[in-house]
A and B are shown apart, each in its own frame.
Chain A
Amino acid sequence: MPKKIGAVAVVGGGISGMQAALDLADSGIKVHIIESKPGIGGVMSMLDKTFPTNDCAMCTMAPRLVEISRHKDIEVISHSEVEKIAGKPGKLNVTLNTKARFVDVDKCTGCGSCTQSCPVSNFVQPMLPEDKPVVELNPEIRERIVDIVRKHKHRRGPLMPILQEVSAFLRYFPEEVLKYISQETAYPVAHIVRVATFYSGFSLKPIGKHIINICMGTACYVRGSQILADRFSDLLNIGMDETTEDMQFTLKSVRCIGCCGLSPVATVADEVYGKLQIKDVPGILNKHAAEPKHEGELQIAN
């Protein structure tokens, strides 16, 4: 067996770096692990479980950590970053920048006492109440939004009822409204945006005066609702989920409105049109373009 010469530098001491180092060292090669943080472990050490098996992260890591510290051929150079690599493959010179630690590594046992008693990290910057930015709402909608939020915010699970009522009122969520909801409830804005974008019934963009919903349920689909959707799309010159420039119509598809007996079905501004045929489409559009929207009641069609 030829004698192995040389050494390998593994940059990054996360789980993959650690495993690579162990595999190399086990095959008889000297390994230097270079890690910018004060200790190896990386992101995985912060995780509880891993996808998709839901294995415990620490159970995967801990044996490797121990093995690395014991391995005679592995040198861990922590708190260091690569500055320069010179030379050519086979003979590389790596220059490292090791950051000052102000602690004698050989003597430290990692007991954690100094971390706990350090006054700097323990000092919490107080957030004064007036520092919190107050969200300004557009005066036209202010009263209603404040009302809605006040009505629901003390319920258990207030977010959905608030979003639903706001969406029924404005039909989309302007940014400042989301921020206001976040301010009044305990939810961070990011959470509210995630919830709002999860449901197809909510929109973050303004939508047209009349919403055209083409039913794409199976029954309607096998009876040709795709052709209908194309016809609407052609006539309005917009694609799905788009709004005409004059803000009159928004074209959407909906997953089954439960009128399968009337398939194919479309609803325009709350009016349900059943057994639709292509030839009816222009008439429907003209009718709604001419009329202002009627609230509520379903009307007769065909």
Chain B
Amino acid sequence: MAERKRIELMLCAGTGCVAGGAFQIMEALQKELAARELKNEVAVVPTGCNGFCGQGPLMVVLPDNIFYGWIALKDIPLLVEEHFLKGRPVKKLMFVPSEEKIPLPLLSDIPFFKKQMLIVLRNKGIIDPEKIEDYLARDGYIAIEKALTSMSPEEVIEEIKKSGLRGRGGAGFPTGMKWSIARQQEKVPKYLIANCDEGDPGAYMDRSVLESDPHSVIEGMSLAAFGIGVSDGFIYVRTEYPLAIERMQTAISLAREYGLLGTDILGTGFDFDVEIREGSGAFVCGEETSLIHSIEGDIPEPRQRPPFPAQQGLWGCPTVINNVETLANVPAIVARGSAWYSSIGTDTSKGTKIFSLVGKINNTGLIEVPMGITLREIVDEIGGGIPEGKAFKAVQTGGPSGGCIPASMLDSPIDYDSLQKAGSMMGSGGMIVLDEDTCVVDVSKFFIQFTNDESCGKCVSCRDGSDALLEVLTRISDGEGREGDIEFLEELGDAVKDSSMCGLGQTLPNPVLSTLRYFREEYEAHIKEKRCPALVCKNLIQYYIDPDLCVGCLKCLKTCPSGGIKGELKYVHFIDQADCTKCGQCFEVCPPKIAAVVKVTGDNFDRLEHLTEIVSCSDWKSSGHNGRNGKPAKTDAAEAV
């Protein structure tokens, strides 16, 4: 922000928006601006993740604070001419809440942003993450200056202790406590590691912090290093985040250039430097002892604790491992004081937490909310409800270590302890919304498959326990569930929890146990009635083409990989159940306004009498299908489709 322009376009360049074509849009914008001779008045600034990923590619126009989402290349000439030349904001690119249908021009009016409270993400979408000046202009590196010049290391730790900050990686260990344990160790050198091995599927807040505000992590690390007495820091990032690694690298070199990393920082004699280490796709590396092994070049299996890493970690030296989000909180706490920070949140959980709100929800994206907010506020107000008017079923928090929270508990506040009580956990902050079309057995199976894959195999209970859980869950979703399976899952789940060494094993049964607690009847439907109420489990459903709706457009027929659909243009199609592999592709391709392909399960199945007539029919024209087979389709809509 070296030089202010009349209008600044804060174009989101987080991974999600880049995938949606943000860089092409930036190029087109610059070309268009040049063509209109607006280059000196309008600046395009690529920022980190804005958070409202469901609207990407997106941008915010400053200083008016107007939000534009779903920008397409073809809209750009219109946008430049109308808004930047003539000063008339373009309505069709604004955000429209699903229930009201009136575009909301201002970012601050959009409910997605309204309820949020930004501490960690205070700079998101406002600064260019690749420019250190932007961070400095937003009071960056003030906290480290304050600490180095006017505070002792003990005071820094005391400040963090008083703030009540707890680890944001999931378990919620008090950060100040961890630091002071490491500070008390006599052995030197000591190490600091920022953990950005964010493996939970559906969670991407750490990535977003690194992408949108890398300097806040560096500053947080410097403060931690000063408090603990460390001069070597590592940032452990998963290699699946190339953009985050690149931006972090740039930020580190810039900080070194400005004398904010390296030797004799700010002339105070304090030395600290940071190095990036990459993981290569092993979920268990997010576990701290495993992560240490990975950096050492050892086999990344966890080990028994104690000794805790704060006592004996990297190369046998005291090591503090903090989550990236935790560290990004630190500069704000030091700069503004612990009293301010501890006034936010609930009794046991202070401050804010970033969640990635994804799944079956209207406004997908990254949100930062104060602790103690209710799930209902998040889902209904920030998230804008469930798409297509479907019914809300549950929220899955905490990734593979967490559990599902049902609709009945939507009003409980979100903090470490109440989530734990509900059978889930904070985790790293994934929040996946499930609607009525999601089968809980299938979701549990998905998570156990994940943990089974990622289990390092050291403990029998985790390795073989997850195998056994998966076997039973697969059996249930295949329609071969037996009496007693539910009780077995519960017993085994508890056993795995009690007897595994690291966090992965101790929490892996949570998705199963929590869904058993709240959605037991759905498991029972699978086992006793051989019915999948959400119409997901392949062996329990059948696809069927409604002859009254089919227009004979051939779409499904061409897509079917097994050749199980018979029919001709403008003739009603039908699915030969003998050939159907239940891949569901016909269901997907059938145009929504026709929607002739339907799924049926359990009892519904028998109610459709005509199904029985056609189950294994070879000559489709001469057979049943309510007498409509081989008959011309009802309308001529086939051509229109």
**Chain A interfacial positions (CB closer than 8 Å to B):** 51-52, 54, 156-161, 163-164, 167, 187, 191, 194-195, 198-202, 216-219, 221-224, 227, 230-231, 234, 254-263, 265, 272-274, 277-279, 297-302
Contact = CB atoms under 8 A, between A and B. Distances in A.
B358 interface: yes
A261 B56 contact: yes
B632 to A, nearest CB: 26
B20 A262 contact: yes
A158 B584 CA distance: 47
A202 B203 contact: no
Given A259-B53, A278-B559, A217 B588 contact: no
Interface stretch (B29-37, B100-108, B294-302): B294-302
Contacts of B499: 52
Given A54-B304, A257-B15, A298-B19, A201 B280 contact: yes
B282 A199 contact: yes
B270 interface: no
A167 B358 CA distance: 32
A150 B23 CA distance: 37
Contact of A156 (B24, B315, B561): B315
A256 B299 contact: no
Interface string B293-330: 01111111000100000000001000000000000000
A275 to B, nearest CB: 9
A161 to B, nearest CB: 8
A260 B19 contact: no
B585 A258 contact: no
B588 A157 contact: no
Nearest to B51: A261
Contacts of B454: 255
A177 to B, nearest CB: 16
B396 A234 contact: no
A297 B396 CA distance: 34
Contact of B588 (A163, A218, A277): A277
Contacts of A230: 561, 583, 585
Contacts of A54: 304
A256 B280 contact: no
B432 A160 contact: no
A113 B360 CA distance: 75
Given A262-B19, A298-B23, A227 B280 contact: no
Contacts of B360: 222-223
A279 to B, nearest CB: 6
Contacts of B365: 261
B283 A167 contact: no
A187 B561 CA distance: 48
B456 interface: yes
Interface string B556-592: 0001010000000000000000000001110011000
Interface in B360-386: 360, 364-365
A244 B201 CA distance: 28
A199 B589 contact: no
A26 to B, nearest CB: 31
* Of B53, B454, B501, most A-chain CB atoms within 10 Å: B53
B432 A218 contact: yes
Interface in B1-41: 15-16, 18-21, 23-24
Contacts of B52: 261
B528 interface: no
Contacts of A218: 201-202, 358-359, 396, 399, 430, 432, 443, 446-447
A17 B241 CA distance: 54
Interface in B78-131: none
Given A199-B281, A227-B584, A301-B19, A257 B240 contact: yes
B200 interface: yes
Given A261-B358, A274-B19, A300-B21, 18 more contacts: A51-B459, A52-B459, A156-B315, A157-B295, A160-B297, A195-B297, A199-B279, A202-B281, A221-B201, A255-B283, A256-B240, A258-B15, A260-B53, A260-B202, A261-B55, A278-B585, A278-B588, A279-B559
